[in-house]
Amino acid sequence: MSIAEKCHILNELAKPFGYRYDVIQDIFTSRTDAWQKDYGYSVLYDKAAPFFNMVFDCFRVYFNYDGRTWLIEFWKGQYGINTGSEVGIYYTDKIISPDSYKTTWFKAADKNDYIDISSCLYYRGHLITHLRKLHWWLTTFLPGKFSKPSELSMKVVLRFKDFEMCASFINALNKACCKVSVSDLCINFMDISFIFERSNTKINPLKRIFIWYVQCKNRIFCTLYRFVTRPFCSTLDRLLYLYYYLPFAFNKTTAIKHYRKRRN
């Protein structure tokens, strides 16, 4: 088959999972009409992530704008056999108190409230994915690559709708920076850019052991994925090979962040 034919097949297969394949970078990214949009965001999603083989650094920026409380969250880390990053835009229908942030369900931003997002993911200082789009949930996932969250850094550029929204986000970001390591903060009119390096949140010993166990599994499955698909070089050919010869392995590979649906 031609590359175009293979891309068409893979995108049709990935569509029910809420993703599309980017042949230029050989990565997966989320669609604007992904089913995950219906489930919004809750802090419980992040807390449950290690039970679904996801280990990442993340931080949340809550701010008030236009009569609503907004949440923009940033993630980077290991998602099963995928190294990836995310930027999510969410809000409530009204302004809520800070005490309610962690117990409130946030809905995904509507189309009129999408933000122009640019995301560059670096592994040990080397660029591995980059994407820019008007979106509510911009993601990049690179199958078959294993990494620790501490080995990743993420450069983000956000273009806000107006100065009021931009100023509100900046004030909230300055407060959130006490919990994460952020560098190279730059403000240019309504554009905000910074590098998310790592989370400074303390992890209790039991959870640390469990995360170590999850990462061991992720590393093993990454190695197994590359071994089984070793005749091929691109994700496109690797996944189509799994689809035709090992369909259960294909489903396991493409079910990124599928836990949200199961939790609901």
C-alpha distances in Å from residue 35, one per residue of 4, 71, 103, 131: 25, 19, 22, 21
Domain spans, the chain: 3-263
Q: In the β-sheet with 126-135, what is the strand arrangement from edge to edge?
A: 126-135, 115-123, 152-159, 191-199, 180-188
What is the reported pLDDT for 182?
85
pLDDT for 138-166, tens place per residue? 999 999 999 999 999 999 999 999 999 99
Instruction: Report how far residue 86's alpha carbon sits from residue 34's, in angstroms, rounded to the nearest whole number.
Output: 14
Residues contacting residue 77 through CB under 8 Å, at least 6 positions apart: 54, 55, 56, 57, 58, 83, 84, 147, 148, 149, 152
pTM: 0.92
Query: If we measure between CA atoms, which residue out of 15, 25, 21, 20 comes closest to residue 131?
Result: 25
Which pLDDT score, from 0 to 100, does residue 139 have?
97
Dihedral angle computed from the Cα positions of residues 34, 257, 225 and 199, in that order, rounded to the nearest 10 degrees:
120
Judge contact between 56 and 79, C-beta under 8 A.
yes
Position 262 confidence tier, pLDDT thresholds 50, 70, 90? very low
The mean-pLDDT minimum among 126-135, 148-157, 200-209, 244-253 falls in 244-253
Q: What pLDDT was estimated at residue 260?
A: 45
**Which residues have a Cβ under 8 Å from the Cβ of 59 and sit 6 or more positions away?**
73, 74, 176, 179, 180, 196, 199
Q: Judge contact between 154 and 59, C-beta under 8 A.
A: no
Please tell me the least confidently modeled range out of 97-106, 161-170, 197-206.
Answer: 197-206
Q: Report the C-alpha dihedral over residues 22, 137, 47, 39, rounded to 10 degrees.
A: -110
Model confidence at 255, pLDDT cuts 50, 70, 90, reads low
Burial 227-264 (b: 16+ CB within 10 A, else e): eebeeeeebbbbbbbbbeeeeebbebbbbbbbbbeeee
| Tokens describing residue 46 | 């992040």
Q: Are 186 and 192 in contact (CB under 8 A)?
A: yes
Q: Which tens digits make up the pLDDT trace of 20-63?
A: 999 999 999 999 999 999 999 999 999 999 999 999 999 999 99
Query: How many other C-beta atoms lie within 10 A of the C-beta of residue 33?
Result: 9
C-alpha dihedral over 155, 161, 164, 168, to 10 degrees?
-30
pLDDT value, residue 1: 86
Task: Flag whether pLDDT at 263 surpasses 70.
Answer: no
